[in-house]
Structure 1
Amino acid sequence: MTSVVEVTCLNRPRTWQWLRGAIIQAVLAFVISSLFFSLPVSADNTLPVSSGPKLEKVTVKLKWRHQFQFAGYYAAQKQGYYRDEGLEVALHPRDLLENNIEQVLKGDAQYGVSDSILLLYQSRQKPIVIVAPIFQHSPQVLFTLKSSGVDSPYKLNDKLLAFYKKDTDGLPILAMLEELDVKPVMDRVIIDKSPIMLVRKEVDAYAGYLANEAYFFKKNGVPYDVINPMNYGIDLYGDMLFTTRDEVEQHPERVAKMRRATIKGWQYAMAHQEEMARYILKQYGLKKSFQHLMFEARVIESVMDLNSVPIGTLNEGRLRYIADLFQKQGLLKGSVDLQKGIYRPEDETLQLTQREKEWIKQHPVIRIGVDRAYAPVEFVNEQGQYSGITPEFLDFISQRTGLEFVPSLHLKWPEVLAEFKAHRQDVLPAVIETEERKAYMNFTQAYLKFPMVVATRDGVPYIANFNQLRSKTIAVVKNYAAHEKLHSVFPDVALKLVDNAKEGLEAVANGDVFGYVDNVAVIGYHIKKYGLTNLQISGEMPFHANIAMGVRQDWPELLSIFQKVLQQIPKPRYVEMTNSWLQINYKKEYSWTQLLLILAPVLLLLAVFIFFNRKLRHTQDELRASNEKLSVLSVTDHLTGIYNRQYLDQVLDAEVERVDRYHSKLSLVMMDLDDFKRVNDTYGHLVGDEVLVKSVETIHHLVRKTDTFGRWGGEEFILICPETDLHQASQLAEKVRAAIETTEFSQDIRLTFSLGVAQYHAGESVNECVDRADRNLYRAKRNGKNQVSASED
């Protein structure tokens, strides 16, 4: 959730002496203004300054060469917004041989422009602070020829992809490929190549920007397709203004000035696109045409999302989601401290547009559709009052906006949905986004996130494989998101539809069904409230309960208002609104009536004490064994039994630290089954799984005790070889290749391995070494497969 520190700003009283000086300066400024504005712009892209108050010099390292992508910064210069804030700003285009983020960290500039890659630097404990997102969505995409038929990322497996020389330049595309487990062959040529190579069919896909390469294809009449990561769930921030923690701590006023002037510049640039396009052409002498710059402007307008999001808006919850996504994919190693990594302006008052203010005046009362039995999220209590976590959030919104919320407390959930569809209810404040619901409501950001779990009776082993549910009956509340998700993900599972969580859990307790699926907060609340002590949580479902507010689609203004308020909830207030409902409260007073009832059968309790004590010890032994099993499962791949990606990342970090400290050696061997997709397509995934398992068994006999062998993903494996140089690792890789080549698989299948070897160089990042091994692997594939490549480039 958004964490905001609210600070009250005090206005300092102005003295007459100060005012007199200001008047004199204003007169002087008026006298020389005509001379000032007739002067040319200096070579470092800054406007010359009059002899007035001395301006603070600031340098910004742009993300790329001069183009409309940075029009807001040019406008802030051109219109004098930086100067008005007392700043003299130099805008430096990207040196393609330099990393502009590192340049800012080294102090070559105070500010820079980059994208969501900034989170990776923050995870490495680099003192990066995000000041303001300018592009709400990344314009980075893949282009393919329409004639090729490659119109989705799923068709990119083993296809040749022209990509950036550095992964940092193509993060949204890498995140999409990783999330979808798609493995193209990377040809790292972009920067010194052009999209003409796609037209010539030298590659199957080309990484680029919607604002640039798309114009090239349109201008030359080349039919093309766009593979946009945003369409596959990878919605990252694009260009963001950033700085360092030192700048924020030592020059907080300068950061505020820089942010204000930059946002003002972007507001001007997007309102005067033609003017700015002509200015950029004249000022920077671009090779691009006016038409190309205007095409770029229209694309940038769309990725800025100007119709619904104020420029510079940063959603901390969304940023956290992006960081979690990177972590899941292995792109991000450490944790991200967003409390330190986000600049928080002092003025955090709710900034509504005039249209939103007018809308609130016209719609002061909002009808709320309530789930009567969704405790502790929302419910109607014994006194007939609307209660739970969600009402706390609605109270906060009401305090900030003046809106009055009137809940409908008499309807059952199916009736609530019907009333909402008929616009007799305006908001469903505690819903999970599903495909079916998208058709008739819009959703805010999720303000509560819970895992979805399955509750069973005691004694059921941990459910690691959900195929175990196929022969079982699972209870779920009718028309809940869990109902839709279960029906979609597990169509073979028999469902018992119930009216509420209590009914579902009691069905489990009575043995009528095997389990009940809901979010962990709801299940925990009901087990405690109704004393269902024979129940346990036995597994986590492959989908989550991300609870948001659903708003009728003809009220986009209300959605925007909700979104702005949710983004400004201070962290302490958020904790206050949620913790009291999610913590277990114990009774602290004795009930004497209950005590007498306990004393009466005390002799009976003593008689069975030994029995229960023995049972408890047995349960503890089972729990210990179960925990040991879970510990093993957490670091191993469930199919092959070798180490998984999570554990491999830990080993890599530890080995690199050891090498850097003791100056020893370390090599990596990346290996990938050639043409494995053909096995799955021809014989099915069960045979494919058998092939993977047998390949692992074959390699295991060759792995040394000091090596770490694991599954990197899909059909790709890695060997981490301590105290091993490049030559030794290559010899080991050749043994693996030869062994797989002679292995006989079922169905008379014969397969080969391609392998890439790299030796770690002291001081480099572990990712650089992994990337080098990966490049060698795909070089082996390009050169004919079934071979080892150990190039050092």
Structure 2
Amino acid sequence: MRDSILFNFHGVLLRCGGMPMRATRGILLPMLTAAVLTSLPNISHSQQNPELQHISVQLKWAHQFQFAGYYAALHQGFYEEAGLDVTLIEHLPGLTPIDQLMGGRVEFAVADTGALLYRASGVPIVVLAAIFQHSPSALISRADTGINTLADLRNRRAMLAGGFMNAELMSMLRQAGITSNDFTLVPGNTSIDVLINGGTDAYNGYTTNEPYMLEQRNVPFRVFLPQDYGVDFYGDILITRESLLNTQPEVVANFRQATIRGWEYAVANIEEMVDLIMTDYNTQQKSREHLMFEARESARLILSNVVPVGYMNLERWQRIENIFREQGLLDVPVDLAGFVYVPSQQDSLWSLLMRYRFALAATTALILAALLTLHVWRLRALVALRTRELEAARHQAESDARTDALTGLSNRRLFLESLDRDLSRAARGQCNLALISIDIDHFKRVNDQYGHLVGDEVLKGVASALAGCARSGDLVARTGGEEFAVICLNTDASEARLLAERMRQQVASMDINTVDARISLTLSLGIAAYQVGDTTISIMARADDALYAAKNRGRNRVICAENAGTAPE
């Protein structure tokens, strides 16, 4: 008994790690009490025998590891301890989770970040927690379709979910200059066979699911992630009705807290949860290997080792709102303070204390005295350590979000932010600006002949060559696949051409040595200099047009946008 209590108290201290010392002291006593009470095996909700309140939860899809935290909260008794009798409802064809929630058929639902658009349109929903810190939603194409970049979707077919729930993929496409008028929308189909059999050229899937299925069937594929295009949304957010929060705030707080406990348990006990799903929830008849793949990818996106499960902040919701607004999906103000739930720690602790008030009278004095004597000296060290870890993790996450993991260059997100900022400077007459768009010629042949591992080495070699040619003040970025771009400040078209020629010659003159081959490459480059009135989309479009002109004229050359429509240079 004593060891169990000490272990739970240690967990409480760790959860206090990010709080100021004064706040930690102010809530230490009730938190210690809560830890003690949850450690007593003979004190349970069922023994006090209160009436459980029935709650229904609408899942966004059929049972799988995507909802493991809810299963854990049920089977570990977390919901029962919170006074709740919870029923989980699988996805119903033709009805979105928000339809079910606002129709009054359920009290809680699992949705996507597009819920913000529903709130903006007047639907009174509140987001309680973000289970996935990064969304698993992605656009997937077969490798043999020739869709190497999002621009290749023009005049092709794409299967996308309807409504606001697919907003992040539409934002990604718009960020890449693609609108719904540029491709044919294929009716939704839940089977990956529609992609494998050629029924669509691009498929709206999850990184937690479809990549495993394609690998098992030996189908090469490409994955386009919104994060690579500066669209980094939350995934699988827990929502409720504003009216329920106003009338029964304790029920909402208790359900949220029990759900987060369930997810903490699920992430820490992946194999146990997979076994539970195989036994009780495997309505999709997935293999254990498939569920383990989904579990590992889900844990990576939940980031429970970096931030608390369910963590949200207003600044990130504000960035998401800004993306929607920039892409034309949102044109009215949103009351984020009313949309994003802020839990009251004091209220939830008081509810817990009231539930176990009779047991508290008999156990608190003796146990708290022993615990305080044993652990208070460790508190400051644990708080300081945890604070340093969280701060380091936050800085690392910010750095990773703007760096291409393969090449070490700036990624598309930082490229777009920098181009937007530098265009503003150019518009104010503070500097010249030129944009160089770069593509590796016949790169698909490298992947097809030598494999993607060699292809990665080629990309790193080209990236190193481009960075070596760049001048101080130039920003070199990998913008996707085999595509690169250079933002040249204080540079006109003729100066940018000299730099582009130097890069072209550097790559053309070198061999990239790999374990399997020595590979020679060439580049095609397009240049666009700033013109009055240019936007991010317009200058990128002119640079890309010049790039395509370079390819059409035989590749391994530099074309300026002003000469893209003339005879070969």
Flag whether TM exceeds 0.5 (same fold): yes
Write the distance in 2 (CA, Å) between the matches of 1:167 and 1:309: 30
Is the counterpart of residue 341 in structure 1 residue 339 in structure 2? yes
Higher relative contact order (CA 8 A, sep 6+): 2
Residue 294 of structure 1 is matched in structure 2 by: 292
1:11-66 Cα deviation digits (max 9, x unpaired):
9x99xxxxxxx9xxx97x88xx9xxxxxxxxxxxxxxx789100111111111111
Residues 54, 119 of structure 1: alpha-carbon distance in 2 compared, 3 angstrom cutoff: same
Gap change, CA 1:470 and 1:95, over 3 Å in 2:
closer
Q: Which residue of 170, 177, 202 maps to 1:174?
A: 170
Q: Which amino acid aligns with 2:51?
A: K
Structure 2 Cα separation of the partners of residues 107 and 301 of structure 1: 32
Corresponding residue for residue 226 of structure 2: 229
Q: Which has the larger radius of gyration?
A: 1
Q: Structure 1 residues 8 and 362 mapped into 2: Cα distance closer, same or farther (>3 Å)?
A: closer
Distance 1:64 1:363, change over 3 A: closer
Match of 2:328? 330
CA contact 2:159–2:185 (8 Å) conserved in 1: yes
Structure 1 residues 147 and 81, CA gap change in structure 2 (3 angstroms): same
Would you say 1:317 and 2:315 are equivalent positions? yes
1:259 corresponds, among 256, 261, 269, to 256
Give the distance between the partners of 1:685 and 1:294, measured in 2 at CA: 51
Per-residue CA distance 1:318-344 (angstroms, 9 max, x = gap): 111011001110112312111111111
After superposition, what is the alpha-carbon deviation per residue over 1:520-575, rounded to whole angstroms, capped at 9, x for unaligned? Answer: xxxxxxxxxxxxxxxxxxx99979xxxxxxxxxxxxxxxxxxxxxxxxxxxxxxxx
**Alpha carbons 1:117, 1:171 under 8 Å: kept:** yes
TM-score, normalised to structure 1, is 0.43
Cα gap change, 1:200 to 1:363, in 2 (>3 Å): closer
Query: Judging changes above 3 Å, is the alpha-carbon distance between structure 1 residues 686 and 362 closer, same or farther for their aligned structure 2 residues?
Result: closer
- Counterpart amino acid of residue 155 in structure 1: D
Work out the percentage of aligned pairs sharing the same amino acid: 29
Question: What is the distance in 2 between the residues matched to 1:453 and 1:141?
Answer: 30
Corresponding position: 1:282 with 2:306? no
Secondary structure at 1:239's aligned position in 2?
strand
Matched AA of 1:343 = Y
CA separation in 1, counterparts of 2:315 and 2:386?
Answer: 30
- Equivalences for residues 537-548 of structure 1 within 5 A: none
Distance 1:98 1:135 in 2: 22
SS of 2:234 mapped into structure 1: coil
Amino acid across the alignment from 2:264: Q
Task: Name the residue aligned to 2:498.
Answer: none
Quote the Cα distance in structure 1 between the aligned partners of 2:25 and 2:344: 7
1:213 alignment partner, one of 204, 207, 210:
210
Q: 1:80 aligns with which of 62, 77, 89?
A: 77
C-alpha distance in structure 1 between counterparts of 2:90 and 2:327, whole Å: 32
Distance 1:300 1:204, change over 3 A: same
Q: Does residue 111 of structure 1 match 2:135? A: no
Q: Partner amino acid for 2:269?
A: H
Structure-1 separation of matches of 2:387 and 2:263: 32
User: SS in structure 1 opposite 2:187?
Assistant: strand
In the alignment, the residues of structure 1 paired with residue 212 and residue 80 of structure 2 have an alpha-carbon distance, to the nearest angstrom, of 35
Deviations 1:332-361 (A, max 9, x none): 231211111111111289xxxx99954835
Q: CA deviation at 1:71?
A: 0.6
SS in 1 for 2:259: helix
* 1:196 matched residue in structure 2: 193
Q: How does 1:1-400 map to 2 (within 5 A)?
A: 52-164=49-161, 166-183=162-179, 184-191=182-189, 193-286=190-283, 287-347=285-345, 358=382, 360=384
Per the TM alignment, residue 363 of structure 1 is displaced from its structure 2 partner at its CA by 10
**Alignment CA distance shift 1:64-1:133 (3 Å):** same
Say if 1:244 and 1:293 are closer, same or farther in 2 by CA, change over 3 A.
Answer: same
- Asked if the contact 1:141–1:227 (Cα under 8 Å) also holds between the matched residues in 2, the reply is yes
Determine the structure 1 residue equivalent to 2:358: none
Structure 2 gap segments, 5+ residues each: 1-18, 31-36, 348-377, 435-471, 477-484, 493-531, 540-544, 554-558
- Give the superposition deviation at 1:285: 4.2
What amino acid maps onto 2:287 in structure 1?
A: S
- Write 1 or 2 for the structure with the bigger share of helix: 2
| DSSP 3-state at the match of 2:128 | strand
SS of aligned partner of 2:70: helix
Specify the code of the residue in structure 2 equivalent to 1:360.
A
**Contact 1:135–1:240 (CA under 8 A) maintained in structure 2:** yes
Contact 1:75/1:266 (CA < 8 Å) preserved in 2?
A: yes
